[in-house]
Structure 1
Amino acid sequence: MKLSKRPLVAASLLAASSGVRAQQHPVPPTPLHLVGQQIFANNYVSAGTDSIINGNVLTGSYLTVGADSKIDGDTVAVAATTLGAGAETLDLWSGTAVTLGAGSGAKVVRHGTAFTRGAAATTAAVSGGEPTPQIHGEQGDAASWQTGLTALPPTQVLVPGSIAADVTYSPGVYQTAGLRTFAADTIIELDADDKDAEFVFNISSYLTFGARVEVKVINQLPGKNVRVIWNIAGGYVAVGAGANIVGTVIAKSYVSIGANATIRGIADLICGGAVYSTTSYVSVGAGATVGSTC
C-alpha cells in the first residue's frame, strides 16, 4: 500500500506549446573514475571530530581528519594528510607529509616526504618516498559529468528562491536558474511511485538545506532502482546541522556539511551518499556522516 501523499510537484513530460510528449534523455551514469569515491574534492577535504565517512576519500590538496573520526575506506591526498587523535582509516596515500595523532590508525601508510607517528598510533606498514598521486581523471570526469547533467532537458522548471513548506517531487529533471534553499525542518519527499525512478535537480547558483531538513524517498518497492542527484553547476552546497539528505551531491564550488548532518544512499542497505566538488573543497562537520554502510 502506498503512503498518503502531499500534492506533487509534477515533472510534466508534455511540451506546453505543442502538446507533444517531450523527449526523455537518459541521465549520465556516474563516471568510472568517481565510482567508489565517497568524497572527491579538487581542493582539500576536512572532516570534523567524531565524523564518519563510509567509503573512499580523494582530494587534490590536503586531508585533515578530526579526533575520533572514522573513514571506512582508503584515503588519497595530493598534499599532506593529518589524522587526529583516535581517528581511523584504511590504506592512506599522501603526496607529502603524513601525521598520525595519538591512538589513531591506518592499515598502510604511503607518504612522499615526512612521517610522524603519535603515541600509540598504529599502522601495519609504512612506505616513504612515494610519488605524488594524480587526480586528473577524477577531476576531468567530475567536470564532464556535471556538464552532461546540466545539459539534460528539464521536465520542469522551478522558480528560484526559498521553500519553507514540506514538498513532494515526482521523478524527473528539475531546473532552477538561480538559487534554491530549503528552510529549517522542511521535509522533502521524493515519490518513486513504485517504479524505477530518477530525480535530478539542476541548480545554476547555490543550494542550501537548512538545519534538520529531511530528504526521503517514498513508495519505493524492493528491487526498483531509484537515483537522486543534486547538481549545482555554478555554486556551492550548504547542508545545515542535523539535516538528513539522500542522494549524490556534485557542486561546482564547495560543499559544507554541518554538524551531525547525514548524506546517505537511497536505503539503509544500499551504498550511496557521495559528495563531489569539481573545483573547491568538501568540509564535513563534527559528528556528521557521509555515505551509507554497505
Structure 2
Amino acid sequence: MQLVQLPNIQLNCKGQILDLSKPQVMGILNVTPDSFSDGGDYAQVMPAVERAKQMIAQGVSIIDIGGESTRPGALAVSVEDELSRVIPVVQVLSELDVILSIDTSHPDVIKAAVDAGAHIWNDVRALTRPGALEMAVDLDVPVILMHMRGEPTTMNQLACYDDVVTEVLTELKEKIILAQKSGIRPENIIIDPGFGFAKNTQHNITLLNELWRLHELGFPILSGLSRKRFVGEMTACTDATQRVMGSVTGHLLSVQQGASIVRVHDVKETSQALAMWNALV
C-alpha cells in the first residue's frame, strides 16, 4: 500500500461545491425491498427521509439513493418501479442541505431525479445502457463510472483476471475515453474500482492494497466496500450488519491511498474514523 495525498479538487454539483481535498462520506440509502444489507428498511418514503436526516446529523456529505438492488444475482427492475421508489424521496430530500447522488443505470431515472433536485449520477454500469452517455452530456452533472463486468446476474462468472489492478485500470480507462469522446467534461468524472463487482475476495484485497494505482487515470476516486461479502470473509462475519469495523478499516485504508469519497452504510462510525485521520495528517 502506498500513501497518497488527496487531490485538490472542487467538484461542482449543480452549483453546490464539494471539497474533494478532504475525504467525503457518501451515505447509502437503498429504497429497495431486496438490497443485500438493508433491503426493505427504507422502502417507504418517511423511513427513508428519517434515515437521511440521521445520516446528515452524523456527518454525511452525500446521500446515494438507489432504487434497484445490484447485489450478485439481482434482477433488473423496470424504469417505472425505480422511478416510483426514488423520485418521491428525492423530492423531499432536495429541501435539505445535502448533495444527492442517484444510484441508477437508467437515463430516464436520472433525468427525473435531476429534475427533482439530485446532483450526481452514480452508475454501476458506467453509462453503457442505451442513451446513457447522451443523457450524461445533456444533464452536465458529475458522473461516477464504476468498474464491473457483465450484469449482476452474470458478473461472478466473469471474475477472471491475470492482473486485477491492471485490468481494472485498462477497462476503466476505456469507459473514460468513451465518456469524454461523447462530450462529458473531464471535471465531471469520478471513478470507482467496483469492489465486489465481478471480483472474488482475493481480487478485492489486491485492489484495496493497490488502490493508489488508480490515480494513474487522473480522476477522483470513490471507494465503496461497505459490508461487502469479502469484508465478511476477512472478518468471519456472515451477518452483513456486523461488518462495521471491517468496512470502516477498509475505507480508512482507501482514504490513505487518496480516495476522495467513501460510500458507506455506517456513517457515524466512518465519520469518527475520518475525524481522527484528519486530525493527524
TM superposition score normalised by structure 2: 0.32
Task: Report the structure number with the largest CA radius of gyration.
Answer: 1
Q: Is the helix fraction higher in 1 or 2?
A: 2
Q: Is the strand fraction higher in 1 or 2?
A: 1
